[in-house]
Structure 1
Amino acid sequence: MAASRTPATADPLRRVAVAYSAGRDSTALLHATASAAVGQGVEVLALHVHHGLSAHADDWLAHAQRQCARWAKQGLPVRLCVRRLTQQPLAGESVEAWARRERYRALREMALQEGASVVLLAHHQRDQAETLLLQALRGAGVAGLAGMPQVAERDGVRWERPWLQRPRSAIDAYVRQHRLRFVEDDSNEQPRFARNRLRLQVWPALTAAFPQAEGSLADAATWAAQATSALAELAAIDLAGVADARGLQLAAWQRLSVPRQVNVLRAWLQREGGALPSSTLLQRLLAELPGSGEARWDWPPGSLHRHRGRLVHEPSVASPTTLPETSLRITRPGRYPLPGWGGVLVASKVNEGGAHPAWMAQLDLSPRSGGEQFMAGIGRPMRSLKKQYQAADVPAWERDGPLVYSGGQLVFVPGLGIDARVQALPGQPQLGLRWQRG
């Protein structure tokens, strides 16, 4: 058994990395990869992460050092790289989740530091079958049931699982054939970990009743992965018709079938918040969004609002830790951070609708106090900020930030722009202002 496509996937520096724990599977993959690289001008990096969670971690590292030194002496182009983790899981944090996150972070850092853009992982068919079962037991959707991808590009590294379709028995046979030495992780016998309970208590009974379970479940993960890709393509098509920079258009969204409403809503929320929403939030939105009037839903990345027929995402902004600034001098285009106000005032050159730079030389910043009058355009009447906000359909959460004055004259209002009374004449140099939260 050989590592798949090792020479072809090596980066231009002719280095490929293998995540090497010194256990059975990673030992087999490292040996196969190094054997395939002989005479190809490819250096194989064995990336070993010392978690410090086990009393045997130092012994595993010593074994990895001896193994790689022995193979290098035999002519295999392998070199060991080690990263020791100095942090520990936080109180109450899942040890499994912490170890996985920190392992991948360390693997990525070592690979990029050594000039390798490809990292091979030793997951095999049974690992994939176990992942599907665990995800199903956790109530995962189609994306979760897809299990582990064979290839993934993430954070500048290409992660490949060349043996994902190989049965566990083939790896066992490879280890016996080459008489490979490996370490046994004693934590694999601890039933407090969900995957261990599955392996120790469920898997033997499952395969006794269904001998083909490993291959069948892995195939099911493949079908789920294909379905996930198809749903993502459908969501992209629907997003183009129901969403824009201002939010999700609810009338257009409601014209979709319910399954497509759920699919595109999930995609839109993930795009806005960077994470998949909970099924509870999805079901609540599905039931409540068709209503009328203003509404608000808490969402950890911020909050969601139904406003004038749209679903709008308001990102959360950290509370200012300093007092609001009271003055500002703008002399050129650029970004002017105002941490006391929780945002940035952005100045840019414009051809119309801006203020002459002379107005910007000395600015005063103030919160709304009531009674302020704003002129939305040349020759238009002055009206209160409340009425101007309503006329311009500016939602309440976009009305924060400082009012900007110069010599007592109102110059700029967040959400409304430059007051027409200070707008520059055609042909004059002028600056526009924009308030950006966060």
Structure 2
Amino acid sequence: MTTFDKILPAAAEVLTAEADLVAQLDWLVINRDLNGRVRFIVPESIEANDALRAKIEALYQALTERIAAHAYPVATGILFEANVDDACAGGARFPLEAFDKVWIADRLATEGNWAQIAPETQGAPRVVFFSIKGGVGRSTALAACAWKLAQLGKRVLVLDLDLESPGLSSSLLPPERQPLYGITDWLVEDLIDQGDALLEAMIATSDLSRDGQIYAVPAHGADPGEYIAKLGRVWMPKVHSDGRRESWSMRLQRLLQRLEARIQPDIVLIDSRAGIDEVASSCVTDLGANLILLFALDGSQTWNGYEILFKHWLRSSVATQIRERLQTVAALVPELDPTAYLADLREHAYDLFLETLYDEVSATDDEGWSFDLASEIAPHQPWSVRWHRGFAALRTLHGRLAQIDDEEVRHVFGDLIGRTLRSLGWAEGYPKVIDGGTF
């Protein structure tokens, strides 16, 4: 039996065997539909060329014999389009490895395909807090970073995009300061052209600020209302009056641009949904993040999950577009023997990056994007967040931040905050920020 995972290797072997024929084509698209079945899409000029069309049919027949149920009969398995852009429209598009003219068009049930990487934003830096698994203290660390940045005089915009597990705003805002609306409300109302009317009523300022300000935009308002019903609609694309289709992630980008224009922040902190799903994809790949913090516990679930994601970027030929924005964060570093724990986590992170995202370099040629195990500037070198009993419960975080001082935050989050500041080029303005995160 041929399973889904064997489709592309089989296609590569079949096309390699007929490399001369493939070289004659301007382009070839291997279209995988929602059911995982494959068709060829070729230039429409081939339709009237009996000899060349017969060769394409024979090529497709050879593929059908390899992938069986994942193919259509030859009579319906070949489509014709004017150009490659039309052939790939509406699908996730990436080249078939080792072929210059062959593209894969994946038709997915969701739009979160992880293979469309938006360029880095040129305005206020956007920092995404992401994790493969939940329960790693990601939201707590974001709240602490926002708190410290505000103490340093920054205008900090915080977005709770963990829509299916909301709660970040409660760590930054007491109940009486919760705004009337949230991101889910905007995404639903935007479908009928009244999202922007909610904008002012979905922003709240935190009472934790001192010299700067924290502007929190929650997943939902003070009264969630029919949150589940709304959540089932936020992923909807918007079809404009002129027929233009705007995906939900594009709408999310537009919301963020509106908020940035309104608030004029110095930095944007985005709490992403954990896991490899629709929301996380938009946060990590679609919003132009400048820095993506990959929270990790040292365990097989963490590394297996990140390996799946990294290898997808490799197969989709987009790894080079995102790898320099990634940074490993050691979450919940235990109190018992933290040095040994961090050493093990660093080694496992290094092995993952070396196998997937780092370039292969020889002993005589150090060109390429790669780092030694001990490199302090490498993305595998973990920025640490210590486990602390007082920060273990997110529900009490607002009270904790209202009562504690820099020393307590430094002890738990200092390495993460200090290194984040340095990565953004802000440490120079704060002479108390030194290596190791002390400030």
TM-score range, shorter chain: under 0.3
TM-score by length of 1: 0.28
Structure (1 or 2) with the greater strand fraction: 1
TM-score by length of 2: 0.28
Structure (1 or 2) with the greater helix fraction: 2
Greater Cα radius of gyration, structure 1 or 2: 1
Say which structure, 1 or 2, has more relative contact order (CA 8 Å, 6+ apart): 2
